[in-house]
Structure 1
Amino acid sequence: MPRAHAERRACGVQTAWTCADTPETAVAEIAGVVDPSDIGQLLVFFSQPYEAEGLIAALSETFPGVPVAGCSTSGEITSDGFSERSVLLVAFPKSGFRFVSCVIPEVRSLSVDRASDVVQALRARLDKEKGESYPNLFAISLIDGLSRCEEAIVSAIAWALGDVPLVGGSAGDGLTLSGTSLLHDGRVHRGAALLLLVETEHPVRSFCCDHFEPTDTKLVVTASDTSTRTVYELNAEPAALEYASSVGLEPSSLAPMSFAAHPVVVRIGGDYYCRSIQRVNDDGSLSFFCAIDDGVVLTVAEPRDMVKSMEAELERLDEDVGGVDFVLGFECVLRRLDAENRQMKHKVSDLYRRYHVVGFHTYGEQYNAMHLNQTFTGVAIGRQGAN
């Protein structure tokens, strides 16, 4: 019988994960390896083969009264490295952290005014709730990864948050692109977003890391549909044909591995940000994970060494927080595919284990006011303040 694995960090955060066959068995196994008396907030990330309604029902029954937030994924990052077809639980302790959270429904119609109301209501709840106040504040967003409006959501929320750092990820469903699920306090939500405000006594640093460099090859979007994030023409040629030609591949060979190995980026304010391709459509068009529009100039990029770039970022974070105790991370699924394709998956997993990284593989990442692709974002929590 499969058994759950667990780890507890100095800051009190417990992580547990299992590959049990059913949601009920997974939750039962996890409950057997965590301390339920010291859980103030649960984050749950799970592969889509686990039925969302069954999972939230089992969590509500097993951890009564404990707030739950989570989503479906395109893979989990556990304390033992990369995982797929698993349930990952991140349990924050009652002391040292304070959480408030809410569901934002109908995200396609989210306005700046409504986002401001949501953030103000959450901050008021945080101020009113009993318990010790802590000096460090950050926000987490979990968004339906097929909503096609993450840019508007993140921009509106970030404006309302002001100088509060925001990190997060778009929910996935493996690579099937058929539907994602969000969990919040006993219910399953779709076409929505979750927003959590977190106050902690521990030092924290948000971060964003990528591993690509731009080349001289340019692709101009000359025909697109912004509502569906579909590009029909690049450089006035059929999109898939022109992209394949620019990266030296046959159009018939284009697949997620191809897009992971040959990303395209857009320049914003002097920096380059990835605009990942989601899939090739039957008509030769390309669907993207990020917003796209006519006239956008895409630059073909070349990956750098993922392990070295991520190790440098984690070393910097380790110094900034006085020793990393725990990292909550949101990593694009295309980075995982690229690591697998380059036979670097074990090295990346080893690095994440060393720095106690947990989280999930996404359809997109959020960092402050930006929705990104093919990046690794998150928050590092330091050992200082831990008992």
Structure 2
Amino acid sequence: MAHGTQMRRHLCGIQTAWTDAGEATEAVAAVAAILDRGGVGHLIVFFSPAYEVETLTAALAAQFPGVGLTGCSTSGGISPAGSIDRGLVAIAFPRQGFRIVSGVLTQITRLDVEGAASTVRGLRRTLDHGRSDGGSGHRFALSLIDSLANAEETVVSAVAWALDGIPLIGGSAGDDLAFRSTVLIHDGQVCRDAAVILLVETDFPIRIFKSDNFEPTNRRFVVTAAREEERRVTELNAEPAAREYAMAVGRDPENLSTMSFAAYPLAVKIGGEYYCRSISRVEPDGSMTFFCAIGEGVVLTLAQPRDIVEATRAELESLDEALGGLDLVIGFDCVFRRLDAESRQVRHRIADLYRRYGVVGFETYGEQYRSMHLNQTFTGIAIGRAERP
């Protein structure tokens, strides 16, 4: 747990700052006081849902005039000093070495797919026109999505299509497992039922990644009844969903909790790979609501955990080696990974790894990777220390 307000300047010129200040105006003032604001071109903030979001947005606009601003509420922040259960994490991108354009997709519950694709293509054209030297830097896209709109799959597929090969990573906004209100900000505006998309071009070497710590078992379930628009499964294998799942994991259906779901996720096989489909909650009628789209006829496989610390260490070591040293990792980490690490009493070891490799980001209700929306995964963008010759 990080305390107070701290800041780190990374070799690529990005500054990261974080505070556990309890009130929005105080948090923004603390971060603004510690950052060198002169060369900042874009600021991303991940903030506690306890903050009054209109106050936060106004304070950011006042403290960072002329700077691009994007952000979202979280279920916990990740700073280079460790986890932040409440507070604000800021990533300040310099104008030098990074070119960033951003846009917002609105009314994503009824997404106009062609309109969304058109917005993203417009961002690509803006980035192309902004090149001063005609050179091609390394590009990636970041997505921040209002998770309570239940629209990540539609958004991600539309955006990935329009990106035409630029890799996408991102996270779904959280609210400390309350599931009441997740929110985004974009250039001084508070956005709900929305997604914010950033296109980034940098002179520094980058890698996108995804990591999880589960492997499939032989236990399978067929979704035999579902309310797809609500991501709600009422029957598995023609039995009440919660009861069938509880029997498989050796739990009482009445005592299923977020810890149960974190320890025993379900996975779907797509193109030879397994992807987690985490359960959000059990409803009073014995149905189960998921964090991801789920439909009748889908085959779900019960997954079992591998060592979360070793899986995470292997991923970060591999990135470190591939990039000739990690300078910074912007990470999107499922809140269920934290719950699983807590239940296994290894959260401090994960935090140590994140500190060692400079991970900054937030705990999510879902992760985006290329054209996929995932659960119980750690995705992100790794930025290397060396400038490409």
TMscore range, shorter length: over 0.9
RMSD: 1.4
TM-score normalised by the chain length of structure 2: 0.97
CA distance in 2, matches of 1:127, 1:152: 26
- Unpaired stretches in structure 1, ≥5 consecutive residues: none
CA distance in 2, matches of 1:109, 1:198: 27
Query: Match for residue 259 of structure 2?
Result: 257
Checking the alignment, whether the CA contact within 8 Å between 2:124 and 2:163 is kept in structure 1 is: no
Checking the alignment, whether the CA contact within 8 Å between 1:12 and 1:386 is kept in structure 2 is: no
CA distance in 2, matches of 1:183, 1:154: 19
Displacement of 1:108 in angstroms is: 2.3
Displacement of 1:135 in angstroms is: 1.3
Query: Match for residue 81 of structure 1?
Result: 82
Query: Match for residue 140 of structure 1?
Result: 142
Which segment drifts farther, 346-355 or 230-239?
230-239
Checking the alignment, whether the CA contact within 8 Å between 1:219 and 1:234 is kept in structure 2 is: yes
Q: Deviations over 1:314-363 (max 9, x none)?
A: 11111211211000000111001101111010000000000000000111
Displacement of 1:38 in angstroms is: 2.1
Displacement of 1:130 in angstroms is: 6.4
Are residues 1:30 and 2:16 paired?
Answer: no
TM-score normalised by the chain length of structure 1: 0.97
Query: Match for residue 168 of structure 1?
Result: 170
Displacement of 1:134 in angstroms is: 5.0
Checking the alignment, whether the CA contact within 8 Å between 1:3 and 1:29 is kept in structure 2 is: no
Displacement of 1:112 in angstroms is: 3.6
CA distance in 1, matches of 2:326, 2:128: 28
Are residues 1:337 and 2:339 paired?
Answer: yes
Displacement of 1:61 in angstroms is: 0.4
Letter in 1 for 2:24: P
Q: Secondary structure, in 3 states, of the residue corresponding to 1:274?
A: strand
Letter in 2 for 1:185: D
Corresponding residue pairs, total = 386
Query: Match for residue 17 of structure 2?
Result: 16
Query: Match for residue 124 of structure 2?
Result: 123
Query: Match for residue 311 of structure 1?
Result: 313
Alignment of 1:192-271 (within 5 A): 192-271=194-273
Are residues 1:66 and 2:38 paired?
Answer: no
Which of 349, 352, 375 is residue 350 of structure 1 equivalent to? 352
CA distance in 2, matches of 1:111, 1:25: 38
CA distance in 1, matches of 2:84, 2:364: 13
Gap change, CA 1:350 and 1:165, over 3 Å in 2: same
CA distance in 2, matches of 1:93, 1:385: 15
Displacement of 1:386 in angstroms is: 8.9
CA distance in 2, matches of 1:21, 1:51: 11
CA distance in 2, matches of 1:350, 1:103: 35
Q: Secondary structure, in 3 states, of the residue corresponding to 1:146?
A: helix
Checking the alignment, whether the CA contact within 8 Å between 2:22 and 2:86 is kept in structure 1 is: no
Moved over 6 A (4+): none
CA distance in 1, matches of 2:226, 2:119: 33
Q: Secondary structure, in 3 states, of the residue corresponding to 1:90?
A: strand
Displacement of 1:131 in angstroms is: 4.7
